[in-house]
A and B are shown apart, each in its own frame.
Chain A
Amino acid sequence: MKSFELVMPKTLDEAIAALPESGQPTERVRVLAGGQDLLGEMKESLVTPERVVNLKTVPGIEGHEPTAEGGLRIGALTRLIDLERDEGLQGSHPMLVEAAAAVATPQIRSMGTLGGNLCQRPRCFYYRNPHSPCLKKGGTECFSYGGLNKYNAILGGGPSYIVHPSDVAPALVSYDAVFTLLGPAGEREVPADSFFTLPSSGEVTRENVLAANEIVTAVTLPAGREAWKATYLKVRERDSFDFALSAVALALKMNGDLIEQARLTLGGVAPKPWRCTSTEELLVGRKIDEETCRLAGEDALRMAEPLEQNGYKVPMTQGLIRRALQALAS
């Protein structure tokens, strides 16, 4: 690992001051939260920052509190295990709890944070191999496209075909969460769905709109979601710990046995948490029955363009959507 300067800020202002002046992408500085992703990247020399800014020394950015509007504001440094074990959240926001609990292992969850989970880098074979100069690392080619792409994107791919690795992100998108970003010019609020970018629309070496001189400080869930039914389901190759082959974050506002509003976001299938807006509309006014399950699955994957080895993600995701709908029906 390359030697680096470790900055231990006492306040958010000090943290921001330790970041680059400009928001332009840079390798020079990285913020450190739980370190569960960043340290691995540094050991593999995927990033070689000169300065690492440790957010754990800044007090007050963990835990959660109700907002004036009746929502819930969760600090970015909150550990995943604290979300998972929070009895209040288990009752009010089960989809978030399920998503947090689906991440990695208890050891990693007891270090890993919410903000780190959302800002973690992709796991694609070619990105993680230090010797492959792939597009994500500033190279010229996405090797997964014509290479080994079993784990890659079936939706929203091109020119890079990574899948977004976070389990928590799809759940936050389906909760219509808003992220608070802090930079030299102050705070800005970005809806979860607009925080994440596609390689075709954003910078191909990044997965979100965060500037190099910004940090995520909080995630706010809007009011009223306690009344929705919601679940996060994930298929992984190995149950003990693994990233998603496919995941579904489904939230439904029911009126009797009719769906009044829906949020459906897919994980593990696209370079960002994949919101299925048309499927959400299709679900409105329907009962959860066999036909609804089938139609929702078909619609959500309508745009899928599998690569050579990942066509299986289509029926698998459709199966998960069915399972999620059935789970919320009972």
Chain B
Amino acid sequence: MAVQDSSPTTWGPREDMRLLNADVPRVDGPLKVSGRARYTHDIRLPGMLWGKILCCPYPVAKPTLDFDRAQAVPGVRVVLPIEDGLRDGWTRRLGTPIAAVAADTPEAADDALAALNARYEEGDWAVNYDQAVAPDAPKVHEEGNIRHLQVDGDEAAAQGELDGCDAVVEAIYTLPVQFHACLETHGVVVDYRGEDEATIYASTQGTFTIAADAAQILGLPQNKVTVLVEHMGGGFGAKFGLDVPGRIACLLAKEARAPVHLMLSRADEFHTAGNRSGSTQYMKAGANADGKLKGLVARIWKFGGVNRGANPGQPYIYDVPTSYAEAMSILTHTDGSRAMRAPGHPQASFAIESVVDELAASLGLDPLEFRKKNLASPVYHRQLDRAAKEIGWAAHPNKLGPPAELPDRAVGIGFGVATWGAGGRPTCEVDVRIDQDGSVTSSVGTQDLGTGTRTYVASIVAEELGLPVSAVEPRIGDSRLGASVASGGSVTTPSLAPAVKDAAHKAREALFAELAELLGSNPRNLRAKDGVVFDVEESDKRMNWKEACACLAPAGIEARGTFQRGLAGNGVHGAQAAKVEVDTVTGELRVLKMVCVQDIGLPLNRLATRSQMNGGVIQALSYGLFEERVIDPWLGLGLNNGFEEYRIAGTKDIPEIVSIIDDEDRRDQVLGVGEPVVIPGQSAIANALFNACGVRIRDLPLTRDKIINGLTAL
């Protein structure tokens, strides 16, 4: 039957919730830990070919390729030149795809790439700041390599304010380019056999961002292209749209009239699938002896390769009465930056949190109190206090910095705060179906990035219908299902969850309307709880779930939900604290403990929320301690193109993590949590390092060489 009821205006009282605001294990957890979850990488189709790409290892080069030799390799079906990244035959960034092959086996595809026998004439390039701003620098963009100047505030006024301050800190903070490092590389499997339809299996953050471009390349109407995203192995902002591997796979499949599997190699993933832009920030900040920030002059350089890079600007979260900030992009012949988990925010955080810490130290003030003095929102105050309590700040002996005589193993504590929007927007369309046999399906095309989307697509409905999570089948990751947003900006949950709630609510109302007639009840008196539908006023009027559904017409109930603005919030904070130990004899830094306090309105699933928080803390720690793209500026080659040399944190590097959901946030709204939690971790660790041993490192990562050099220079 069709449903036309009112939409919900509240998530309902938290006290009444069984599944929401509770720890619910992910419904796909068993599949994932047992290796049965099928990722795009795992797709095998009859007659499928293996696609591979050759990327130019140099930033600017003119490649020469032997296509005939590659074509002659046994098992090779298609060899294609890829020219859309070339200008007059020259590449303009490191990692430009220049050729692609499709073959019967991955080995034959590799052999074909080798048989291309690539030869490169090397050009002039600029891969770092010095090369990009040199007077005779080769141009990345016709208008020059210094671009997109933005100015905010009055420099003279800010400078004037600084002149009158009791303490001024002037320093440069640098952050390297970070890779998204998704464990599943970018790629697709295109199932096209020369007929009038195609299916694309995609590792993507947007089920609905792929079909249009794929259809165009394949020469099909868009409604003949289905996109499937059953499970995907991480995106972090780098996986929207058909993208380079998807476009090439479609070209290969079209040519071969056969399915093509094309996933990037790790080295190509690193140099042609995006990154977090690097950053250099000049900060001159001043404060008075009472601990109030007065003025700031900031100059921000963003290193986004051929793209602009990101930075939300300074003074970021802090209240500085008079500030001036200018930002510009320095273009280089390297892969373009993309959105990456809170684009620009970790960079801004590191510069401002460091300079704030340095000011507190130079005024001899408690860095925690100093922060609170310069953050207006009481939310930050309570979150910082909570983080301080969990990390053991009150009992910490060296609040104002390390003792004059350093111990062999010095312990320090540091802090940082975050901000993010994480709000929802209209788009999603969710269908909840109740069948005559009692089975319930909740469907929407959304992808699950590993965050728990699939689980709440079921659990919100289960909560509404008084059923266990396992009684609701979530169907997602299919472009034939209801529309959904792409997962960027932590918007998925606040956009999608209200629509799920709406659909569940409408399905329940429709069911109650049917049953009320049968039971002779007022539908408003009916409740669904613990698998039973009953009348709150007449206790003999009750049916178990199966009996109730058996009364439905053969078509069952189908309800469609849409976005409900009132159920989604906007704007989150967040505070983190780090405790570290520095071996002052060898320069080894170990993080002992991290605390993450985060407001997120109504936590749909506390377990998944804490898991997101843990993940954010780990990614920030990894950024702070290890991650850094290395390119040799003279040879132009990427030097850490795999997980051996591009270090990400492993089990032994990860400390005790205490993730605390800020339950004082009583908003009856859901918000996203993916991004705020990755923002301040590395800043807190750098501040903790200083607090432990007096070594202030202004360029990430906080590697042992810098620490021992810093200790030696003390």
Contact = CB atoms under 8 A, between A and B. Distances in A.
Interface stretch (B140-148, B243-251, B702-710): B702-710
B620 interface: no
A228 interface: no
A2 B645 CA distance: 24
A225 interface: no
Interface residues of A, number: 34
A315 interface: yes
Main secondary structure of the interface of B (DSSP, over half): loop
A125 B630 contact: yes
A185 B480 CA distance: 72
Contact of A235 (B110, B587, B644, B645): B587
A240 B637 contact: no
A242 interface: yes
Interface stretch (B7-15, B374-382, B518-526, B648-656): B648-656
A202 interface: no
Nearest to A320: B586
A239 B645 contact: no
Given A132-B635, A147-B634, A316-B586, A240 B650 contact: yes
A238 B712 contact: no
A312 interface: yes
Nearest to A238: B647
A147 B650 contact: no
B634 A235 contact: no
A87 B630 CA distance: 42
B637 A148 contact: no
Contacts, number: 94
A125 B712 CA distance: 27
B637 A129 contact: yes
B663 interface: no
A326 to B, nearest CB: 9
B585 A319 contact: yes
A235 B647 CA distance: 15
A89 B36 CA distance: 41
B632 interface: yes
B639 A150 contact: no
Contact of B590 (A131, A239, A309, A315): A239
Contact of A147 (B588, B635, B649, B712): B635
Interface in A280-310: 309-310
B640 interface: yes
B625 interface: yes
Given A131-B57, A238-B650, A316-B704, A125 B632 contact: yes
B626 interface: yes
A143 interface: yes
Contacts of B625: 238
Given A131-B57, A240-B650, A235 B632 contact: no
Given A132-B637, A150-B705, A311-B709, A143 B645 contact: no
B708 A239 contact: no
A323 B653 contact: no
B588 to A, nearest CB: 6
B586 A235 contact: yes
Contact of A245 (B583, B630, B704): B704
Interface string A141-168: 0010011101000000000000000000
Nearest to A143: B635
Given A125-B632, A147-B634, A235 B704 contact: yes
A1 B586 contact: no
B649 A240 contact: yes
A121 interface: no
Contacts of A2: 114
A239 B586 contact: no
A126 B590 CA distance: 29
A128 interface: yes
A238 B586 contact: no
B266 to A, nearest CB: 11
Interface string A113-133: 000000000010110110110
A5 interface: no
Interface in A235-256: 235, 237-242, 245
Interface in B578-595: 583, 585-588, 590
Nearest to B584: A319
A323 B708 CA distance: 15
A136 interface: no
B272 to A, nearest CB: 16
Given A237-B626, A319-B585, A322-B585, A245 B639 contact: no
B589 to A, nearest CB: 10
A312 B630 contact: no
Nearest to A310: B705
20 contacts: A1-B110, A2-B114, A126-B635, A129-B638, A131-B58, A143-B632, A148-B632, A235-B586, A235-B704, A237-B626, A237-B647, A237-B704, A238-B625, A238-B626, A240-B651, A312-B709, A315-B587, A315-B709, A319-B708, A320-B585
Interface of A: 1-2, 45, 123, 125-126, 128-129, 131-132, 143, 146-148, 150, 235, 237-242, 245, 309-313, 315-316, 319-320, 322-323
Given A2-B114, A147-B634, 20 more contacts: A129-B638, A129-B639, A131-B58, A132-B635, A132-B637, A143-B635, A146-B634, A237-B626, A237-B704, A238-B653, A245-B704, A245-B705, A312-B587, A315-B711, A315-B712, A316-B587, A319-B583, A319-B587, A320-B585, A320-B586
